Amino acid sequence: MNVRFPHRLDVPDERPASDLIPPAQPPSTEAPHPSPRSLRGLDWFVFFVADVQTGFGPFLSVYLTTQKWTQTDIGFVLSIGGIVALLCQMPGGAIVDWARRERLVAGIALTMITTAALAYACFPIFPVVFSAAVLHAAASCVLGPCIVALSLGLVGYGAIGDRLGRNARFASIGNGTAAAAMGAIGYFYSAQAVFFVTAALLIPTLFALSRIQPREVDPELAHGTLRRAAAARGDLRSLLRRRPLFILGVCAAIFHLANASMLPLMASVVTTRSGEWATVLIAACIVVPQIVVALISPWVGHQAQIWGRKWFLLTAFAALAVRGLLFSTVTNPQLLVVVQLLDGITAATLGVMVPLMIADIARGTGHFNLAQGIIGTAVGIGASISPTLAGYLSDQFGSPVAFLGLSAIAACGLAAVWLLMPETRPADEPPPAVEVT
């Protein structure tokens, strides 16, 4: 009589780390059916969150300058915000995993961000602004994972590519709309009014969040735990053993090392060449990629569910490398706006692929949002080093060499993705099961 004993749960899996990504489950076990109300609520929630976050961009520097702050103090506050954002990436994701109530956590984070906006507007003194910058940075590190977790919990793995593409579209539209509206408010009223408007946006943002029905957000899917593997939700080791997660982190750091300073460096070049047209050209360089992102992101997300993820990630790195090469050679300021179309391609592909690949890699661990924090930390490291590196290259060798250096870094990232990054889409993943168009 042959007896087959079950596999011991306490014996580590001896397969290569890249093979530890679990296969897709049959659609019947994890195919949610969210209502149109919840899906539209998520659309508008993403839109308004982008509006709120836009108010803390360049407008903060403008506002503090009008309040007679020195550039040293402004730079110090901005740097503190960046450092806090970097340090809070992983704790922020872990909080979302621990709380398991994404809507509540997102609402608290939004309230914190609104408090920061009101603090800026009402009390522009150093201790208050310093505290508000810390509060805003910490809350943003929680809000980002909440959005992706809500998306995964609503639609499941079968449609997460489509959903992330749709998120990118609404975020892009929100960014563009808010930038134009707040620029007009700052021009016709005051820079202070921008932060009052930012705070007022809490009301429609929370209303959009309330439209997402909590019973339709699967708590297991939202944290990367397969329903069949719910008992393993606390297994952090299973996440840390997955080598593709750290390969993706390195690739993301390389990408942002090459990308973060490319537009600011180009803006400096345009300012010296174009004089009074510089502001218009820079604005166009910001708006044009947003249009591209809004147009192609849903298509990218849908096709990634069919073709896989790696080819789109390679496309993002290739477009970035070509963009840096063109910036080093093109001298016509108007043509630089055309080159910025490539930035839209990289933003659309990377913005969808990174959270999608994280979802693939963290599948079954119950620590999906912590995995987002790990990658977010890598992104922050690359982005924080990039301006210093580009500034040094530009000062020592000129802007063309600096652009070539950034392009070379992107090319190294392209090679790393090609040689090291495995395809994370499960081979037997079912086609999208939820319509999110």
- Give a three-class secondary structure readout of the chain: CCCCCCCCCCCCCCCCHHHCCCCCCCHHHHCCCCCHHHHHHHHHHHHHHHHHHHCCCHHHHHHHHHCCCCHHHHHHHHHHHHHHHHHCHHHHHHHHHHHCCHHHHHHHHHHHHHHHHHHHHHCCCHHHHHHHHHHHHHHHHHHHHHHHHHHHHHHCHHHHHHHHHHHHHHHHHHHHHHHHHHHHHHHHCCHHHHHHHHHHCHHHHHHHHHCCCHHHCCCCHHHCCCHHHHHHCCCHHHHHCCHHHHHHHHHHHHHHHHHCCHHHHHHHHHHHHHHHHHHHHHHHHHHHHHHHHHHHHHHHHHHHHHHCCHHHHHHHHHHHHHHHHHHHHCCCHHHHHHHCHHHHHHHHHHHHHHHHHHHHHCCCCCCHHHHHHHHHHHHHHHHHHHHHHHHHHHHHHCHHHHHHHHHHHHHHHHHHHHHHCCCCCCCCCCCCCCCCC
- Classify residue 209 as exposed, middle or buried by CB count within 10 Å of its CB (0-12, 13-18, 19+): buried
**Residues 83 and 138: beta-carbon distance below 8 Å:** no
What burial letters (b/e) apply to 54-71, b meaning 16+ CB within 10 Å? bbbeebbbebbeeeebee
370 alpha-carbon distance from chain centroid = 14
Q: Tell me the C-alpha distance between 161 and 131, whole Å.
A: 37
pLDDT at residue 12, rounded to an integer: 38
pLDDT at residue 200, rounded to an integer: 92
List own/partner pairs for 281-288 with CB under 8 A and 24 or more apart.
Answer: 281/333, 281/334, 281/336, 281/337, 284/337, 284/340, 285/336, 285/337, 285/340, 285/343, 286/179, 287/176, 287/179, 288/337, 288/340, 288/341, 288/343, 288/344
What average pLDDT values come out for the chain (437 residues) when binned by 10 residues? 40 42 46 84 93 78 81 79 86 84 90 93 90 91 90 87 91 85 81 88 93 88 64 64 91 93 80 65 78 90 88 94 91 81 91 91 84 90 86 86 93 95 78 50
54 alpha-carbon distance from chain centroid = 14
pLDDT at residue 56, rounded to an integer: 78
pLDDT at residue 4, rounded to an integer: 40
pLDDT at residue 336, rounded to an integer: 81
For each of the domains in the chain, give its residue range(s) and CATH number, in order of start.
Answer: 35-223 (1.20.1250.20), 232-425 (1.20.1250.20)
CA nearest to 57, candidates 253, 201, 202, 191: 191
**Residues 349 and 300: beta-carbon distance below 8 Å:** yes
- pTM reported for the whole predicted model: 0.79
Q: Tell me the C-alpha distance between 121 and 199, whole Å.
A: 10
